[in-house]
Amino acid sequence: MVLERSGPDWMGKAERAARTLRATTLRAPGAGHSVYVVLLHDARRRGPWGLYVGQTSRDPDWRFDQHKTGYKASSAARRFGVRLLPALVEHLNPMRRWEALDLEAALAEAFRAAGVPWVEGGH
């Protein structure tokens, strides 16, 4: 399973949608949470590529590893997670917990509105 250089045809729309969001507590005192996005791939789906949106107080790389090993894992991220897409959210992290929860949901909705056919998480 190799992601083509250009990626899914909707990736540019997803990037633009993510850039519309801002974190008001970016790098504020006590800002220790992050949102993260995982690229999903399921060859059985008609549109095989998707995104999973989550939030964590841990390093997003470490949290992705937890998903893949099944610890407190989203089944979509565990089964279909390919890799993190940090470029989609680097302008948002770190932030305070309440805002990470809000932006997790806002990111998922922004991706859906931008035409990403398969979005998981965001709750």
Over residues 65-114, the pLDDT tens digits come to 999 999 999 999 999 999 999 999 999 999 999 999 999 999 999 999 99
Cα–Cα distance, 103 to 80 (Å, whole number): 23
At 3 the pLDDT is 47
Q: Identify the three-state secondary structure at position 15.
A: helix
What would the pLDDT profile of 9-51 be if each residue is shown by its tens digit? 999 999 999 999 999 999 999 999 999 999 999 999 999 999 9
Among residues of the chain, what percentage have pLDDT more than 70?
94
**Backbone phi, then psi, for 104, in 5-degree steps?**
-60, -50
| Tokens representing residue 98 in the block | 């309440």
Beta bridge partners of 34: 56
Indicate whether 62 pLDDT > 50. yes
Label the pairing between strands 119-121 and 49-56: parallel
Indicate whether 6 pLDDT > 70. no
Indicate whether 4 pLDDT > 80. no
Nearest to 88 by CA among 69, 107, 66: 107
Nearest to 122 by CA among 82, 89, 94, 91: 89
Q: Sign (positive/negative) of CA torsion 51, 8, 12, 10?
A: negative
At 123 the pLDDT is 87
Beta bridge partners of 95: 33
Length of the chain: 123
Q: Identify the three-state secondary structure at position 53.
A: strand
At 18 the pLDDT is 98
